[in-house]
């Protein structure tokens, strides 16, 4: 895990009006959850945006510094965003400990361009993230998959994703991550290649 941090302060007042006031002051209202307990806090919007660069991921663990309290580790479990402005309206954070396994979603990064696209195949996307369980120290920010060798008719399922023993993937194993579907164009190319091979003189 890389060293990431976020500062916050406790907030006593809740409700729509108070939350709007906090947002006008440059804060994001948030709640930290931990085993059935919760605490209301406020996070500086600018600092939060600098941490996530506009792309919020559950797989990013950070140190949370709450004024007057001992530092904890946390990640963003969910968030609310204004559909028009894109402004973050509320955060749900989850407290973690180094010795306790967590369940969270990790984005999938696809590497390369499938060879099957040049053969007329059509790319079909499936899972864009995986639900995994692991210790905080083993949590990857993303899972990379090389798809450059895929040809029409090939597919990568969740069960095909390679990972270390320290990570358990909880997403259904049969689900498709990515596939190159056959089309009329790819079928014609495959037939032509087969006929050309069959017509080649024997050595």
Write out the chain's pLDDT in tens, 203 residues.
446 899 999 987 667 788 899 999 999 999 999 888 999 999 999 999 999 987 899 999 999 999 999 999 999 999 999 999 989 999 999 999 999 999 999 999 999 999 999 999 999 999 999 999 999 999 999 999 999 999 999 999 999 999 999 999 999 999 999 999 998 776 666 665 555 555 555 55
pTM, two decimal places = 0.78
pLDDT of residue 114: 96
pLDDT of residue 1: 44
Distance CA 1, CA 57 (A): 14
Any idea where the domains of the chain sit in the sequence? Answer: 5-96, 103-196
CA distances from 27 to 69, 90, 145, 177, 194 (A): 19, 10, 37, 37, 64
Distance CA 185, CA 191 (A): 10
Name the token pair of 134. Answer: 């692991």
pLDDT of residue 15: 72
DSSP state for residue 202 in the 8-state scheme:
P
Class of domain 5-96: mainly beta
Class of domain 103-196: mainly beta
Say yes or no: do domains 5-96 and 103-196 share a fold.
no
């Amino acid at each position: 895990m890389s060293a990431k941090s976020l500062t916050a302060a406790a907030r006593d007042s809740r409700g729509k009006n108070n939350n709007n006031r906090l947002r006008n002051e440059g804060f994001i209202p948030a709640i930290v959850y931990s085993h059935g307990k919760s605490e209301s806090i406020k996070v500086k919007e600018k600092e939060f945006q600098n941490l996530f660069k506009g792309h919020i991921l559950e797989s990013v663990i950070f140190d949370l510094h709450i004024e007057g309290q001992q530092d904890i580790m946390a990640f963003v479990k969910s968030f609310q965003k204004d559909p028009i402005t894109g402004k973050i309206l509320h955060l749900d954070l989850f407290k973690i400990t180094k010795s306790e396994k967590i369940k969270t979603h990790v984005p999938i990064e696809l590497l390369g361009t499938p060879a099957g696209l040049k053969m007329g195949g059509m790319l079909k996307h499936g899972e864009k993230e995986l639900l995994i369980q692991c210790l905080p120290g083993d949590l990857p920010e993303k899972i990379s998959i090389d798809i450059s060798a895929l040809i029409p008719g090939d597919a990568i399922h969740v069960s095909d994703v390679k990972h270390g023993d320290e990570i358990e993937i909880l997403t259904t194993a049969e689900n498709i991550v990515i596939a190159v579907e056959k089309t009329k164009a790819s079928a014609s190319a495959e037939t032509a290649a087969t006929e050309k091979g069959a017509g080649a003189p024997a050595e």
